Amino acid sequence: MPRPEFHTLTVKEVRKETDDATSVAISVPDALRGAYTFTQGQYLTLRATVDGQELRRPYSICVAPDSGELRVCVKRLHEGRFSGYVNDVLEAGDAIDVMGPMGRFHAPLEPDAVKSYLFIAGGSGITPVISNIRTILAAEPKSRVTLIYGNRRGRDIIFREALADLKDLHLSRLQVFHVLSDEIPDIPLFAGMLTEDKISELASRLCDVGQLDWAFICGPGPVMDGGKAALLALGMADERIKIESFGERPVAGDLKPSSADVEIDGRRAEVDVILRGVRTRIAVPFQGPPILDVAHDAKVDVPFACKGGVCCTCRARLIEGAVEMDIVYGLEPDEIEAGYILTCQSHPTTDKVVVDYDG
Ligand SMILES: Cc1cc2nc3c(=O)[nH]c(=O)nc-3n(C[C@H](O)[C@H](O)[C@H](O)COP(=O)(O)OP(=O)(O)OC[C@H]3O[C@@H](n4cnc5c(N)ncnc54)[C@H](O)[C@@H]3O)c2cc1C
Ligand code: FES
């Protein structure tokens, strides 16, 4: 598969899903349809100039691949620049730069299989989850799905109606349980935060964990960590638990000074960057900004989205030398074994390094 690239597309529809969440449908011209063909649970990277600054952010697709739509959903964060822009400014008809789909938050579909899935979502984590649920219910007619979805209040529930419609359509195969932390629901089991204890109680009472084929978790850090710990303690195998992290901290590179502005004392490594068959040589400090930042400053069109070590958009193969990574969250053990690195997190530790974005 060629590496996804940015294309300037047109916003088809902007729809308020809740007070703080907006979904955005994007028109894809016929000539680019192949570049935006996606798998359930994948994300797009959006790029726009917000208050004079170019920003890019990954956003998960919330529809199924056969829906005929390309749609993401963006939840406003406090003082969030891109999420604020999408929620307050973006309109139908606007142009927006969109990088093609990436990500692995999905499991293989088997139309004849009888499988059991558990999804655990918190807040905007429902976005890649609903894409998966819609797809599985349609593509695997004998499989069953349980969703545990945590929010603060009822009015924060994103896709509330869509989930209710899906439940009506697949009454015997989809169970949806809303858990609210700031309201008191009728049944105490559904009150509180999605902590490890709460998830353990919910999972063991609402589904047969021993029979689960897959569990998917997407939400704030405590939901991901607590959910995984709970399922492991209930006997689920690690490799059957899929987690999508949205990042938790100021991840975007635009928050850091550019590599040219950083005072660097000391040696630099000679780093060759191979991208779309072109080799560019840059000098990267042993201590300082990562390879991706220096390459970007040198006008190499290196791919990135979160810059926080979670999305893997900046993945490249290390074909010579060695690097040290600050965070390797997004990489699977077999990718590390195969020599892949996250260039947004990588600092050279040898004088000569070669990284290949095409590999
Ligand atoms: C693979 C992937 C998929 C994603 N999918 C979605 C999605 O479907 N819907 C969605 O709404 N978001 C999604 N995100 C998060 C999104 O990319 C942005 O990080 C988020 O919208 C914040 O960007 P911002 O410019 O508004 O905030 P910024 O201006 O960058 O930051 C504003 C404040 O929010 C904090 N912050 C930044 N990012 C996060 C975060 N993720 N969680 C908590 N606090 C944060 C910062 O510390 C800062 O205080 C996804 C992220 C990844 C890595
Ligand atoms: S840009 Fe997301 S992991 Fe590097």
Rounded to the nearest 5 degrees, what angle is found at the Cα of 47, between the Cα atoms of 82 and 4?
135
- Contacting residues for 165 by C-beta, under 8 A, at least 6 apart: none
- According to the model, what pLDDT value does residue 256 have? 45
pLDDT digits over 29-65, tens only? 999 999 999 999 999 999 999 999 999 999 999 999 9
Average pLDDT, the chain: 93
Classify domain 6-102 by CATH architecture. Beta Barrel (2.40)
| Residue scoring higher pLDDT (186 or 86) | 86
- According to the model, what pLDDT value does residue 252 have? 44
- According to the model, what pLDDT value does residue 294 have? 97
Q: CB-side exposure of 200: number of CA atoms within 13 Å?
A: 11
- The answer, yes or no, to whether residue 251 has pLDDT greater than 70, is no
pLDDT above 70 as % of the chain: 95
- Residue 347 near residue 292, CB atoms below 8 Å: no
- The answer, yes or no, to whether residue 262 has pLDDT greater than 70, is no
Q: Counting atoms of ligand 2 from 1, which one is nearest the CA of 58? A: 2
Tell me, yes or no, if the two domains 116-244 and 253-356 fold the same way. Answer: no
Topology of the domain comprising 116-244: Rossmann fold (3.40.50)
Q: What is the mean pLDDT of residues 83-94?
A: 98
Return the residue matching tokens 């729809």: 15
> Which ligand has an atom closest to residue 251 CA?
1
Return the residue matching tokens 């992290």: 245
- The answer, yes or no, to whether residue 305 has pLDDT greater than 90, is yes
* Cα 251 to ligand 2 centre (Å): 9
| Residue scoring higher pLDDT (264 or 308) | 308
Q: Domain 253-356 class?
A: alpha beta
Least confident of 23-32, 62-71, 263-272, 287-296: 263-272
Q: What is the mean pLDDT of residues 255-262?
A: 44
Nearest to 359 by CA among 273, 245, 257, 271: 273
pLDDT digits over 161-185, tens only? 999 999 999 999 999 999 999 998 8
> Which ligand has an atom closest to residue 256 CA?
1
Q: Residue 234's Cα: distance from chain center in Å?
A: 26
Does any ligand 2 atom lie closer than 6 A to the CB of residue 314? yes
Give the predicted TM-score (pTM) of the model. Answer: 0.91
For the chain, domain boundaries: 6-102, 116-244, 253-356
- The answer, yes or no, to whether residue 248 has pLDDT greater than 80, is no
- The answer, yes or no, to whether residue 104 has pLDDT greater than 80, is yes
Q: Counting atoms of ligand 1 from 1, which one is nearest the CA of 252? A: 30
* Cα 251 to ligand 1 centre (Å): 8
> Which ligand has an atom closest to residue 344 CA?
2
- Contacting residues for 12 by C-beta, under 8 A, at least 6 apart: 25, 26, 27, 92
Does any ligand 2 atom lie closer than 6 A to the CB of residue 312? yes
